[in-house]
Amino acid sequence: MGVPGPQVPQGHSGGHGGISGAAVTHVPRHHGDPSLPLTFFAPPPRTPLPPGGVAASGVWPEGARVRGRFLSAWNSVRYGWTVRTKTHFSKLSPLHLLGRAYCPAAAEELERFQRDFSSRLWLTYRREFPALEGTPWTTDCGWGCMLRSAQMLLAQGLILHLLGRDWTWPEALLELEPEPVTGSRRPRDPPGRTRDPPGRTRDPRETEQRHRTIVAWFADHPRAPFGIHRLVELGRNAGKKAGDWYGPSIVAHILRRAVETCPETSGLSVYVSQDCTVYKGDVAGLVQGDAERTAPEPGQRRAVVVLVPVRLGGESLNPVYVDCVKELLKLKSCVGIIGGKPRHSLYFVGFQDDFLLYLDPHYCQPFVDTSRENFPLQSFHCGSPRKMAFGKMDPSCTIGFYAAGGPDLEELCSDLTRVLTPPLAPERYPIFTVAEGQARDHGLEPLGSRPPPPPPPPRAGKRPKKPGADEFVFL
């Protein structure tokens, strides 16, 4: 069962009931000098959003439809407003981003960091997309931020799987770089680079097509395998519906099921830990594949995204875990953290000193039709990194890692063991553990052998309580 440690988490709420302070969000582009400090944008203070839902009969009465349309319009306005603010980063400390470190004191290093950050997929609230099945919802503003954070983590795993960690978007800094008088842009490092197998050079056009394919998989359309429509559909098995708040543990299982049922990603699997324990035998079995899943496409390898839901304290983050979280974010296999502040989900991608770096989904953008040829990509990338003090982090989160089979998987397990149980502090309770064998060896049912039970209905005469940061739904 693993060494006793932090509680098994079942998710802080991803909604927005009672957000303290000004919540900061990104805008697609920032024009001007790329040197620090950078300029950022934030929406005005928010008010709690009443939970939405379908009537017990599954049919929306006219009053509910009108209310749904009103809430959609109101949230589109509320999360579309921006206010100027600034974020300062120290030039004396390294910026850590998904396993890589950059020294911001050097201009070239700073530009490399900005290019790397801007190449991560940024998936935010959207409006005016096709209505979610059985509901009048045409936007996820106000309730879908945890699903968006989960999408961003999975997108990073797919980028590692299909493009490699060295890949950068050719237009990542296009609007941050000044143009000469002639109108031609100054020479830059070759964009779109990927780590190809020995003896093979990937065509930049093929690389960009894979980039667009990944973005299209997360489109806000019922046919997109990882879009908001599909994730909401899979959330029904956990008793969730459109308009509800999702926790980081529930979305981990939703991602696992979404990848399992997606034929386009046959070479990739998702593993969700049980009881804060990663069982090496189960992970290795997913990488090796089975008869239920088809073989990966030629030139692709089998790999796994490991998701570990954890809880790092009671009402607030226990400071004893901060150093370990930093070390995990330094691992080259790390694909980020689905977390945030209480009732305010964010996607953490790195840190500097005692501040987390993140992408914020709380910015409402118009629906983009990814079925169009050469659809615009600018709104799926953000050039403005943002930071938040570790002390504000909600203790309930899901940490993600990516590994291919063979040496990569062994290296991941070795790195996790080293970080979680450091030799200088062997008595410290680890955030989670890595154990030999399989879950069934320890009396646990195989992952996914049965759907998670829905939460029990409220007692008669009692109003359902809004989920708090310390409430769990055991799967």
SS3 (DSSP) at 21: coil
- For tokens 């879950």, name the residue: 439
> Residue 333 in contact with residue 403, Cβ under 8 Å?
yes
Q: Catalytic pick from 30, 362, 381, 415?
A: 362
The CA distance from 228 to 195, in Å, is 30
Q: Give one DSSP letter per residue of 442-455, joined into a string.
A: GTPPPTTSSPPPPP
26 a catalytic residue: no
The CA distance from 308 to 393, in Å, is 17
145 a catalytic residue: yes
Q: Catalytic pick from 116, 140, 244, 360?
A: 360
Name 467's Cβ contacts closer than 8 Å, sequence gap at least 6.
13, 15, 245, 247
SS3 (DSSP) at 229: helix
SS3 (DSSP) at 126: strand
189 a catalytic residue: no
Give burial (CB, 10 Å; 0-12/13-18/19+) of 74.
Answer: middle
- For tokens 């302070």, name the residue: 21
* Segments in 34-144 forming alpha helices (H): 62-78, 107-119
The CA distance from 9 to 429, in Å, is 16
| Type of residue at 96 | H
Q: Catalytic pick from 145, 324, 334, 397?
A: 145
Give me the active site residues, please.
145, 360, 362
